[in-house]
Structure formats: C-alpha cells, structure tokens
C-alpha cells in the first residue's frame, strides 16, 4: 500500500482543484453555444458535438477550439486522479467515460469536416512537409521541422497540435507512451519526433503519418 504524505496529498488536492476550475470555466464558455455543464463532456456523442459546432455559425472555429481545450483539460484531470490512485494509464479497455473522451479528442483532431478550410490545407501541408523532412534529412532534422512549423503557424498552440498528432502516430506504432507534449519546449517536443523516426525508420513513419490522416 502506498504511504501517505500529507504535503503530497495537499499538492495533489490543489492541482485537482485547479484543473476542475479550468474545466468549469471552459464549460461555462461553451454554455453560450448550447453546452450543458451538468452533463460533462464525456457524456456527449460526436453527433451532438457536430450539431453544436454547426449551430455556432461563424463562431464554429471558436467552439471547436474550446471543445479541444476542454477535452485536453479533462484528460489531465483524469490523469491526476489516476496518479493519486497509484495507477499509470487511463482505463480505455471498456466503455468508460475516459474512453469516450479519447474518442472525442481523436475526432476533434482528425475530423476534416470540423476544421476550417484553410486550416485543413495548413494541417495537410505541414504533415506532408514533416514527412518529407523525415524521409530525406540526414542531420539537423529538428531545425528543419521547427522551421516549417514556424513558417506555417504563428501560434504555439497550433504547432503543438501538429507535434502531438505525429507523436500519437508514433504511439500507434508502439514507440512512445502518451506524453504531455505541451509541458516540453517546442524544440524538445520536435526532438521526440526525430527520435521516433530513428527508431521506427524515417520512411516508414513518413508514410504512416500521411496514410493515417487520409
């Protein structure tokens, strides 16, 4: 049985409270667009979320971004709860709220119909550029990838979104466990991509990145 450290418990409790506050703040903001905070994001079906984004009209991109942030924050909350219980991974083997949360996250990340048209072009373009770099470069791959990210996207949020997609692709190939990409510097996050390419093979990863997004 894990020993209890009162200082550690206080730190965990404060971290959980902060995440719950962040979740509530995002839910209240989404409440302006028909989201019901009493339900929780895990109880929503993808079709319901599609309707919510559609009804937002010209603000659909904002709603999609808010949903993405809510899912990410809720996932962090689950991780902290699991860590507090001495568990390492989210329970996704059965039909659990956690599993539905990950389904929603994948849909938000991957679904083309919920991306703004110019963002689809950017996302596909940068994936193609990264795949090309991984397939061809011999050294300084990190520098080249960083250059493409900064050229295509102005916000770090969007750069990390691309990096996260590639790292999740590495996970599908059995290379990495899920990581908190946003806690790393941009350079260190890109370094994970290059390390993955070296382990799985640059060409294989490049092909897989593109095929998984189609």
**DSSP assigned state of 2:** P
More confident residue, 189 or 9: 189
Query: Average pLDDT, stretch 185-195?
Result: 89
- Rounded CA separation 89/85 (Å): 11
- Rounded CA separation 137/149 (Å): 16
Please state, for a pLDDT cut of 70, what percent of the chain lies above it: 79
> With bands split at pLDDT 50, 70 and 90, how would you rate the model's confidence at 8?
low
pLDDT for the residue numbered 114: 41
Query: Which residues are within 8 A (CB) of 203 and not within 5 positions of it... i.e. 6 or more apart?
Result: 134, 135
> With bands split at pLDDT 50, 70 and 90, how would you rate the model's confidence at 28?
very high
CB atoms within 10 A of CB 104: 22
- Rounded CA separation 163/108 (Å): 15
pLDDT digits (tens, 9 = 90+) for 143-172: 999 999 998 888 888 888 888 888 888 887
Q: Is residue 82 within 8 Å of residue 90, measured between CB atoms?
A: yes
> With bands split at pLDDT 50, 70 and 90, how would you rate the model's confidence at 30?
very high
Chain Cα centroid distance, residue 44: 18
pLDDT at 192 over 80: yes
* Tokens at 212, concatenated: 């998984």
Query: Average pLDDT, stretch 205-211?
Result: 71
- Rounded CA separation 201/131 (Å): 12
pLDDT digits (tens, 9 = 90+) for 98-123: 778 888 877 776 554 444 444 556 77
pLDDT digits (tens, 9 = 90+) for 45-101: 999 999 999 899 888 878 888 888 898 888 888 888 877 766 555 554 555 777 788
CA proximity to 164, closest of 198, 137, 127: 127
Length of the chain as a residue count: 214
């Amino acid at each position: 049985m894990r020993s209890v450290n009162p200082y550690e418990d206080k730190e965990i409790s404060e971290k959980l409270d902060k995440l719950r506050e962040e979740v509530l703040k995002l839910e209240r903001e989404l409440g302006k667009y028909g989201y019901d905070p009493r339900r929780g994001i895990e109880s929503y079906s993808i079709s319901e979320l599609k309707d919510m984004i559609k009804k937002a009209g010209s603000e659909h991109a904002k709603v999609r971004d808010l949903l993405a942030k809510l899912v990410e924050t809720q996932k962090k909350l689950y991780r902290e709860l699991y860590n507090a219980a001495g568990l390492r991974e989210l329970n996704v083997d059965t039909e659990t709220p956690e599993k539905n949360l990950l389904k929603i996250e994948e849909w938000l990340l991957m679904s083309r119909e919920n991306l703004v048209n110019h963002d689809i072009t950017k996302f596909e373009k940068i994936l193609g550029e990264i795949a090309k770099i991984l397939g061809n470069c011999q050294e300084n791959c990190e520098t080249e990838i960083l250059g493409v990210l900064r050229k295509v996207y102005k916000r770090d949020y969007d750069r990390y979104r691309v990096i996260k997609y590639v790292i999740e692709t590495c996970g599908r190939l059995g290379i990495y466990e899920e990581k908190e990409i946003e806690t790393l510097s941009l350079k260190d996050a890109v370094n994970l991509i290059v390390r993955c390419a070296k382990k799985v093979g640059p060409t294989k990863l490049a092909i897989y990145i593109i095929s998984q997004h189609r």
